[in-house]
């Protein structure tokens, strides 16, 4: 492999007599590793290296006044912008809340979040706008209890638009039955109707270069086993 000014410029046998040769016997030479599914939103504030990955994607945290509430346990849903059980350990119900309090609680928007992490990253990172996050901001406690009304969908659409304008990579959502909070309750995105999904996806279509991350495992409102 030939590298010039930090870029890979050749792979295979290199016949440049002026090249500096580095012996990498027994090692793996790679341009980097990309972690495409993370819950890096809070961790970025105290760990800018992210376990030696060179690039990663995740979701920004939800509204801080909600994130700091002990009555709202964190979930394992990538659309939630929250820390999963893997980060919180076996006692995620309590440990995750402790980690949540380490967030910059003054942040309220995606734009403010991006401003806050500027200069803290030692890797390339991109963040989706999470469905459950904007649902909670707009609907409060009802986000994980019912379908959204038309005016609430409009409010979510505006939040999503603002998040994408601020630099969000796209929109992340899930209907997967495995995505529940620490108490086994369905996360907010699982209460979304087909119309809500379509309207929010329509917002993404007006932002060239952004993307969708959706897990349509089951229909909305299907209660998880044991919930």
- Condensed to tens digits (0 to 9), the pLDDT of residues 9-32 reads 888 888 888 888 888 889 887 778
Determine the pLDDT at residue 51: 64
Instruction: Express each pLDDT in 135-176 by its tens digit.
Output: 988 998 899 999 999 999 999 999 999 999 999 999 999 888
Determine the pLDDT at residue 89: 29
Residue 224 or 153, more confident: 153
Give yes or no for residue 7 having a pLDDT over 50: yes
| Full DSSP string of 109-138 | SHHHHHHHHTTT-SSEEEEPEEHHHHHHHH
CA distance 6 to 11: 14
Instruction: Express each pLDDT in 37-92 by its tens digit.
Output: 777 777 777 777 766 688 888 876 543 333 333 333 334 444 444 433 323 222 33
Place of tokens 């006692």: 91
pTM over 0.85: no
- Rounded to 5°, the CA angle 152-156-159 comes to 140
Taking domain 34-215, whether its CATH number is 1.10.8.870 is answered by: no
Instruction: Express each pLDDT in 92-143 by its tens digit.
Output: 333 444 444 444 444 667 888 888 888 888 888 899 998 988 998 899 889 9
Bridge-based pairing state of the strands 170-174 and 211-215:
parallel
């Amino acid at each position: 492999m030939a590298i010039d000014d930090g870029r890979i410029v050749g792979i295979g046998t290199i016949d440049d007599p002026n090249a500096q040769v580095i012996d990498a016997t027994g090692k793996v030479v790679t341009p980097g590793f990309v972690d495409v599914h993370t819950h890096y939103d809070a961790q970025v504030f105290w760990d800018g290296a992210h376990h030696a990955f060179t690039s990663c994607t995740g979701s920004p945290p939800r509204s801080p006044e909600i994130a700091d509430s002990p009555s709202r346990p964190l979930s394992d849903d990538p659309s939630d912008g929250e820390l999963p059980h893997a980060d919180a350990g076996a006692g995620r119900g309590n440990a995750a809340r402790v980690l949540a309090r380490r967030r910059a609680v003054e942040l309220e928007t995606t734009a403010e979040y991006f401003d806050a992490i500027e200069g803290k990253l030692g890797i390339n990172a991109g963040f989706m706008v999470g469905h459950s996050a904007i649902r909670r901001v707009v609907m409060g406690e009802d986000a994980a209890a019912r379908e959204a009304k038309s005016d609430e969908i409009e409010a979510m659409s505006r939040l999503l638009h603002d998040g994408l304008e601020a630099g969000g990579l796209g929109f992340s959502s899930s209907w997967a039955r495995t995505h529940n909070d620490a108490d086994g309750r369905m996360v907010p995105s699982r209460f979304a109707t087909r119309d809500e999904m379509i309207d929010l996806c329509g917002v993404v279509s007006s932002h060239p270069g952004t993307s969708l991350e959706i897990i349509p495992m089951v229909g909305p409102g299907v209660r998880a086993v044991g919930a």
